[in-house]
Amino acid sequence: MASATAIMASTSGSSGQGGGSPSATATSVASQSPKAQEVMEYLTTHELTQKLNDIVNACVRARADDPFAFMATQMHRIQQPATITRVRVVRLLSSVHVSVYGKCYQPDQLCGAGSVPQSDPPAATTTSAEEISQALTALLKGQGLADLVALDQLVSDLSKEWAPAVMPSLSTALAISVSQASHLEPYALISSICFGQQKKDSELAIPSPLVEVARPRASKYRAVGIVALPPGQPLLSQLQRAQTICKALESVGTVAANGTVTIDGKKFDDVLNVIEKAITSTGVVLGEQVGIWVDVGADACFVAEANEYEVDGGASASREELFAQYESMLASHPAVSALIDPFHRDDRDGWALFANASARRCTPISSSSDPIPGAAASVSLSSTVSQAIQDARSAREANCDVVISRRPVEGPESIIADVAVGVGAKFARFGPIAPAENACKYDRLLQIESALQAAK
């Protein structure tokens, strides 16, 4: 250890401890490589040398049982808070794929090359990626990497036309950087922000995935999916079961590019019959091992002027008539355990009908983050990670379950899985398993599940 002290002293022109010739040491090392010379010049002129020298000498004097642990503790004390530099801004932008107005831009297009359209369709004028990079550098350079909420607020306040388009991906990159600086997994950082304190991994849980498997061809209903029953089953077995069901559905429909199967049927009831038959053919027990969810999409079928809904066949229905159709569906298909957007988000009288005893076994889910009494609220990363956390917190305060949902257009970022775990979501809706931009989210859930199990 004394020799270590001498080495440290020899590299410092300001230290009188340990003897040795700094210039001789620098010359001998510099002769080996220009890079080594650069390092030695840094060490002989920077105060860090003195600080490191003091730590080594203190370790010798302390006669610590574990000298390396002692030095690590001392180094932690002199650690400066991480800040954002220009290089880090570039890395922030390079760490994610940024989706702008429905188009996915590769990292180099936001780091000095290419251009980003200001509108969709693109207008005649465009904002260069270099301009975006410079604006974000000016905004973030020198900011500390300790408070994600404060950083997200800076991004939210950015008054640029292109700001809303890059905000989700930039906030994602900031969240990852803050978690790294805090030595926390992203889900742990998000949990500490959401609940005001850091929860143990053993206190966190994996949400049940709502996996999309099929779409009806001739129906206003948008999608059909499955969810594992009861909740809490191993995630890998859930995903494997979903893939098996998708394979069985391929024989009764047309496989789409995203891996879902389009199914024909004169009525939606016929579509459900086909799906249920395919599921049972795999040996899965409907209603016990797997439930079915239906994305009704009634929010897009509401005619505000008439205060009615347009249903299949072009007919109109009042909210009471529409609810009667749902009750009939639930009676004929008891495995249906969730309905997404059964009413328009502002039709609170319609949502209130689900308080009826006959419908309590079915979970109504709103695709909006605004809490609706008795319904689960959907939260997505439409702006910043901090806003998603706040939306989830608001839903929980209103006694609503939380569904974390991917955006309609989203690149291969996986932090939405960390958000789902961190805010304590009941469900995660990431779409079909097959597309790469979705598969990475399911993979991240599997990684988090492994970490949580290791903590128990």
Q: Residues 200-220: pLDDT tens digits?
A: 888 999 999 999 999 999 888
Residue 1 lies in a domain: no
> What range does the domain containing 228 cover?
202-455
Sorted by sequence, the CB contacts under 8 Å of residue 277 that are 6+ apart come out as 252
- Diameter over CA atoms, the chain: 94
Q: What's the average model confidence in pLDDT over 380-393?
A: 95
Weakest-pLDDT range from 48-62, 248-262, 369-383: 48-62
Residue 401 lies in a domain: yes
| pLDDT at res. 19 | 41
Residue 368 identity (one-letter amino acid): S
Confidence check: pLDDT of 326 > 70? yes
Residues 210 and 118 in one domain: no
Q: Residues 228-276: pLDDT tens digits?
A: 998 889 999 999 999 999 999 999 999 998 889 999 988 999 999 999 9
Q: Residues 266-286: pLDDT tens digits?
A: 899 999 999 999 999 999 999
Task: Give the CATH number, domain containing residue 175.
Answer: 3.30.390.10
pLDDT-above-70 percentage for the chain: 77
| pLDDT at res. 94 | 63
Q: Residues 21-48: pLDDT tens digits?
A: 444 444 444 455 666 666 666 555 566 6
| pLDDT at res. 213 | 96
Q: In the block, which residue shows the tokens 């610590």? A: 64
CA angle 340-343-347, nearest 5°?
140
CA atoms within 13 A on the CB side of 116: 29
Residue 89 lies in a domain: yes
| pLDDT at res. 7 | 29
Q: Taking all residues of the chain, what is their mean pLDDT, rounded to a whole number?
A: 81
**Tokens standing for residue 9:** 């002293």
Task: Give the CATH number, domain containing residue 206.
Answer: 3.20.20.120
pLDDT-above-90 percentage for the chain: 50
**Tokens standing for residue 172:** 């994602």
Residues 215 and 150 in one domain: no
Residue 117 lies in a domain: yes
What confidence category does residue 420 fall into, taking pLDDT thresholds of 50, 70 and 90?
very high
Q: What's the average model confidence in pLDDT over 376-395?
A: 96
Residues 303 and 315 in one domain: yes
| pLDDT at res. 272 | 96
Residues 224 and 368 in one domain: yes
| pLDDT at res. 355 | 76
Where b means 16+ CB within 10 Å and e means fewer, 348-385 reads eebbbbbeeeebeebbbbbbbbebbebbbbbbbbbbbb
Residue at a domain's end among 183, 214, 231: 183
| pLDDT at res. 44 | 59
| pLDDT at res. 106 | 41
More confident residue, 320 or 360: 320
| pLDDT at res. 189 | 96
Residues 435 and 306 in one domain: yes
Residue 323 lies in a domain: yes
Give how many domains the chain has, as a whole number: 3
Residues 375, 354: contact at Cβ < 8 Å? Answer: yes
Q: How many CB atoms neighbour CB 397 within 10 A? A: 9
Residue 71 lies in a domain: yes
Residues 286 and 386 in one domain: yes
Residues 308 and 434 in one domain: yes
Residue 10 lies in a domain: no
| pLDDT at res. 312 | 78
Residues 113 and 224 in one domain: no
Residue at a domain's end among 62, 79, 96: 79
Residue at a domain's end among 34, 60, 79: 79
Residues 359 and 312 in one domain: yes
Confidence check: pLDDT of 370 > 50? yes
Q: Residues 67-121: pLDDT tens digits?
A: 888 877 777 666 666 777 666 666 666 654 444 433 444 433 443 333 333 334 3
| pLDDT at res. 132 | 74
Residue 245 lies in a domain: yes
Rounded to two decimals, what is the model's pTM? 0.78
Residues 128 and 223 in one domain: no
Confidence check: pLDDT of 328 > 80? yes
Residues 154 and 63 in one domain: no
Confidence check: pLDDT of 1 > 80? no
Residues 231 and 330 in one domain: yes
Q: Can you tell me the distance from the alpha carbon of 49 to that of 22, in angstroms, rounded to the nearest whole number?
A: 12
Cα radius of gyration rounded to whole Å, the chain: 28
